Amino acid sequence: MRHLAIALLITSLITAPTAQACTAFRLVAKDGGVVYGRTMEFGFDVKSDVVVVPAGTEISGSLPTGGKGITYKTKYGMVGATAVGLPVIVDGINDHGLAVGLLYFPGYASYPEATPENKSRAMAPHELGNWILGNFTTVEEVKAALKDVVLVPVMVEAIKQPAPVHFIVYERSGRSIVIEPLDKTLKSFDNPLGVLTNSPNFEWHTTNLRNYLNLMAKNAPAVDLNGMKLTQFGQGSGMLGLPGDATPPSRFVRAVAYSQSAIPAETNKDAVLKAFHILNAFDIPVGAVREEHEGELHTDYTVWSSVADLNDLTWSFKTYNDQSIRTIDLRQALDAANGQVRHIAMDSKQPIENISTRFK
């Protein structure tokens, strides 16, 4: 019976829709600069573009019926990545250095139904990033205002369901919170580690860290056993046991280990490059994470990675097809947009430079 139960569990995992695997973390430079890095994984190309949204843009939330929910004008300009053709920022920053990221949260996200009583403050889950960046400058402001909005189950055609997501928010000081739609209510959690992945919920992940108290950046010292001295084979013995798979719990532990052990960069600009190096540890190539669902092969991969500099107000990225780092300066982009919502293509082809005769 036990073997049958395990077999049924394995079968359910294999036949379930592909799970998206995003990872987010924060670094603080010696000069106090704060950067936030994250990956965007999906089982298909989410067709992201960069969107530039000026202050004063009118935005309306969506309802399951197709009508309008909450309506507001943005107080702050913002820039970030869209997804699946929707006019939303799934990851980005505003002109006061507030950043937000939407990460997949399957099996745990729950939303109340839209009603005549709540529709004036309702929006789709995937629209919360716009509302946060457009209206607030600190995580404390965001926390205080969560009672004023409600997320309702609006269908996203690309995934055939309302987006099951939770959110990580950073401010310029480095403070961070996680927002999760649990039990049909928005709940916020202070996030001193600045890390988030996917399901289970945030509190579960922080509890799970207790299983890894032995991890350390320093190599393990030699051990003497009755005169026999045992030494490490090579570098990295302090991190022996660090989980390397692509599951959300393992990525959460790995993101904490790498971000907390990173030697602080001298400046925020240096921290941007350091963050991209850490992001390499979470890069998933096509084929490494896959499953069959309803006769189709699904393979999660890192569609893009991004780093937001909350001091210089830049949002930088690289994509699966082009590992070159490209950056958007928020101030320059807003000036060039001239009060209009504008888009910048993210997809491009990786240049490979031939330097065969470029001798020193």
pLDDT digits (tens, 9 = 90+) for 103-158: 999 999 999 999 999 999 999 999 999 999 999 999 999 999 999 999 999 999 99
The helix or strand, by DSSP H or E, that contains position 4, with its residue range, turns out to be helix 2-15
What would the pLDDT profile of 293-312 be if each residue is shown by its tens digit? 788 888 999 999 999 999 99
pLDDT at 295: 86
Domain 7-345 top-level CATH class: alpha beta
Q: Other CB atoms closer than 10 Å to residue 235's CB: what's the count? A: 8
pLDDT at 229: 92
d(CA 325, CA 1) in angstroms, rounded, equals: 53
Q: How many CA atoms lie within 13 A of 210 on its CB side?
A: 5
The confidence band for 21, taking pLDDT boundaries of 50, 70 and 90, is confident
pLDDT at 13 over 70: no
The confidence band for 68, taking pLDDT boundaries of 50, 70 and 90, is very high
The confidence band for 10, taking pLDDT boundaries of 50, 70 and 90, is very low
pLDDT at 15: 33
Q: What angle do CA 335, 27, 268 make, to 5 degrees?
A: 45
pLDDT at 244 over 50: yes
pLDDT at 1: 37
pLDDT at 67 over 60: yes
pLDDT at 86 over 70: yes
pLDDT at 253 over 60: yes
Catalytic residue among 19, 20, 21, 22: 22
What is the chain's mean pLDDT, rounded? 93
Using alpha carbons, list the distances in angstroms from residue 165 to 60, 102, 332: 19, 6, 31
pLDDT at 4 over 90: no
The confidence band for 20, taking pLDDT boundaries of 50, 70 and 90, is low
pLDDT at 5: 34
Annotated domain spans of the chain = 7-345
The confidence band for 234, taking pLDDT boundaries of 50, 70 and 90, is confident
145's tokens: 């205002």
**Beta-strand relationship, 122-123 and 150-151:** parallel
pLDDT at 3 over 50: no
Q: What is the CA radius of gyration of the chain?
A: 22
pLDDT at 19 over 60: no
Catalytic (active site) residue 22: yes
pLDDT at 232: 86
d(CA 120, CA 303) in angstroms, rounded, equals: 35
d(CA 6, CA 1) in angstroms, rounded, equals: 9
What would the pLDDT profile of 169-219 be if each residue is shown by its tens digit? 999 999 999 999 999 999 999 999 999 999 999 999 999 999 999 999 999
pLDDT at 9 over 70: no
